[in-house]
Amino acid sequence: MIGSRVGVSAMRQVARTPNAAFFSQNLPRLALGMQARTVSTSKLSEADAQALLATQRQSRPVAPHLQIYDKSQTWFGGSIWTRITGSIFSGGLYTFSAAYLVAPLFGWHLESASIAAAFGSLPYAVKGGLKFLVAWPFVFHGINGMRHLTWDFAKGFSKPAIKTWGTAIWGVSIVSGLYLGFFF
């Protein structure tokens, strides 16, 4: 009740005050609050402009090179592999979708029955290996996605926890991928 009365009284006050009066009374405050920066320009020759640009480049910060990073933290870290597996998923989906659309034009047979028959004729080890190559990214992406969700709640940021969970996620995802590839 009080909230609605405050809103109504504010609306009445705004309706009574014309816009011109509002802006004219606040104009000095707005002018004082604005900052102005004087800019001086000068005409430079092409050689002088290139020399000035070269001196400005020297004072820019240099991005760190990739060799300064610890490979165990960056290359085998879960975050980069989550991005890699996600890119593999999206790239594979787009590639298969485009191939499926143009298959009739080239005489390719990408129907489900053709793919199942071709896959069924492969040896057991090849089938298991191909299934592992498909299953492992899904498992890893899913499990590591759960870890990222726990990070969204600001949990598990200590270095030992990051290392322990990283190792556990790699182990569980590889074992699960092998199980799905060869026994499922």
The answer, yes or no, to whether residue 89 has pLDDT greater than 80, is yes
Taking all residues of the chain, what is their mean pLDDT, rounded to a whole number?
Answer: 83
Cα gap 169→144, rounded to integer Å: 7
Average pLDDT over every residue of 22-39: 60
The answer, yes or no, to whether residue 53 has pLDDT greater than 70, is yes
Q: What are phi and psi of 92, to 5 degrees?
A: -65, -40
The domains of the chain, with CATH numbers, are 71-182 (1.20.1300.10)
Average pLDDT over every residue of 39-48: 86
> Is the model more confident about 16 or about 59?
59
Question: Given this model, what pLDDT does residue 58 score?
Answer: 86
Confidence band for 38, pLDDT divided at 50, 70 and 90: confident
Question: Given this model, what pLDDT does residue 132 score?
Answer: 97
Q: Where are the alpha helices (DSSP H) in 107-158?
A: 112-120, 124-152
Give 127's contacts (C-beta < 8 A, 6+ positions apart).
Answer: 119
Give 165's contacts (C-beta < 8 A, 6+ positions apart).
Answer: 78, 147, 156
Give 72's contacts (C-beta < 8 A, 6+ positions apart).
Answer: none
What is the four-CA torsion angle of 139, 141, 146, 152, rounded to 10 degrees?
180
Task: Provide the percentage of residues in the chain whose pLDDT is more than 70.
Answer: 72
Question: Given this model, what pLDDT does residue 30 score?
Answer: 57
Cα gap 181→101, rounded to integer Å: 28
> Is the model more confident about 150 or about 23?
150
Tokens representing 157? 């940021």
Question: Given this model, what pLDDT does residue 100 score?
Answer: 95
Question: Given this model, what pLDDT does residue 31 score?
Answer: 59
3-state SS of 22-86? Answer: HHHHHHHHHHHHCCCCCCCCCCCCHHHHHHHHHHHHHCCCCCCCHHHCCHHHHCCCHHHHHHHHH
Cα gap 11→164, rounded to integer Å: 59
94-139 pLDDT tens trace = 999 999 999 999 999 999 999 999 999 999 999 999 999 999 999 9
